[in-house]
Chains A and B, each alone.
Chain A
Amino acid sequence: MSEPELTCKEVVELVNDYLSAVMPAADRPRFADHLAECPGCSTYLEQMKTTIELTGQLREDELGDDIKRDLLEAFRRWKKSL
């Protein structure tokens, strides 16, 4: 017996499981069938990937000098106490 087709409303609920690689294998053909035929949902999937990518780009690697100085002092104190 074949499962009923997914609606777009159901697909958007599954997108994150798909992106996190936790979608059960049994659900994947229905999900793939839907995406292959639905421009709206494949755009939604792309938007979700872009969102995750943009969020990842927020990572900063810069640090204020005062924070560095304070922490280095704390580190030196800690070293002495060893």
Chain B
Amino acid sequence: MEAARFARIRRAILSLPGEAVVVDHTRSGARSPETMAGDERELIDALLAGDEAVFASVVAMHQPGLVRVARAWVKDADSAREVVQATWLAALESFERFDGRSALRTWLFGILINIARSHTRAARRTVPLSALVADELTDATPIVDPERFFPRGHAWEGHWQAAPLPFPTPDAALERRELRALLEEAIAALPPLQQQIVVLFDIEGLTGPEICNVLGVSSTNQRVLLHRARSQLRAIIERHLGRSGDE
């Protein structure tokens, strides 16, 4: 059974055309319809014409993501909401100048980050972006505890000593709620860039290039930081489920 399963995995990986598995961003249902250029144009025309229903739907679509990203900059929920409120006002003021060269969401997140940054600057010291990037890249926290692998000199050096076990399927609603709360907390505890990258990529469904544009990081750094963030979250879920395989 197992052998057949692994042969299937191997075939599946090798038979993929071009690149490997692409994370399916449509999986969580609601995604911005504005990823399609035509829809976006209509949306903008409706907003400029003063259509309140359209404005309400644009707000509903982006508010949660904007709040999440704001939280990477300002720690309490009230300040985050203030920053987001200021973002909408600034967006309205400059809306006529929105040229549609970037997607509306990229433009909104860009405004938000500028406001959040100056908010942070006013509250504390200035942290240049390059310093944030350097900080998070040089952080030496391993993505998997090195003790989980056989040590140097061992015949199985670098292979699992305490292999992970499959996550049990959380079936009860209570377990799911617990897991959500745990993830929310874990994301909030990530360093600011990793937090924003994981929010923008895995929750809000922005593309890699959009994220690089919004945050001003290179695509290599974006990838490395996403990798770190996801690995941290995996480890936290694993610890929570108490199935590290080394009992």
Give the contacting residue for B27; candidates A15, A31, A37, A53; CB below 8 A. Answer: A53
Q: Are B160 and A8 in contact (CB under 8 A)?
A: yes
* B119 interfacial contact with A, CB 8 Å: no
Give the contacting residue for B230; candidates A37, A51, A71; CB below 8 A. Answer: A51
Q: Are A35 and B9 in contact (CB under 8 A)?
A: yes
Give the contacting residue for B28; candidates A33, A41, A56; CB below 8 A. Answer: A56
* B157 interfacial contact with A, CB 8 Å: yes
Q: Are B30 and A72 in contact (CB under 8 A)?
A: no
> Complex: how many Å from CA A49 to CA B163?
17
Contacting B at CB under 8 A, from A26-79, are: 28-29, 31-33, 35-44, 46-48, 50-63, 67-68, 70-72, 74-76, 78-79
Task: Tell me if A's interface is mostly helix, strand, loop or mixed.
Answer: helix
Q: Are B227 and A56 in contact (CB under 8 A)?
A: no
* B139 interfacial contact with A, CB 8 Å: no
Residues of B within 8 A of A3 (CB): none
Total residues of chain B contacting the partner, CB 8 A = 70
* B93 interfacial contact with A, CB 8 Å: yes
* A20 interfacial contact with B, CB 8 Å: yes
* B118 interfacial contact with A, CB 8 Å: no
* B202 interfacial contact with A, CB 8 Å: yes
Q: Are B234 and A72 in contact (CB under 8 A)?
A: no
Residues of B within 8 A of A44 (CB): 144, 163-164
Q: Are A47 and B234 in contact (CB under 8 A)?
A: yes
Q: Are A47 and B27 in contact (CB under 8 A)?
A: no
Residues of A within 8 A of B37 (CB): none
Residues of B within 8 A of A7 (CB): 149, 157-159
The stretch from B84-92, B97-105, B109-117, B123-131 touching chain A is B84-92
Residues of A within 8 A of B209 (CB): none
Q: Are B237 and A68 in contact (CB under 8 A)?
A: no
Chain A interface residues toward B at CB < 8 A: 7-10, 12-13, 15-23, 28-29, 31-33, 35-44, 46-48, 50-63, 67-68, 70-72, 74-76, 78-79, 82
Chain B interface residues toward A at CB < 8 A: 2, 6-7, 9-10, 13-14, 18-23, 25, 27-30, 50, 52, 55-56, 59-61, 63-65, 81, 85, 88-89, 92-93, 95-96, 143-144, 146, 149, 157-160, 163-167, 179-180, 183-184, 187, 198, 202-205, 208, 223, 226-227, 230-231, 233-234, 237-238, 245
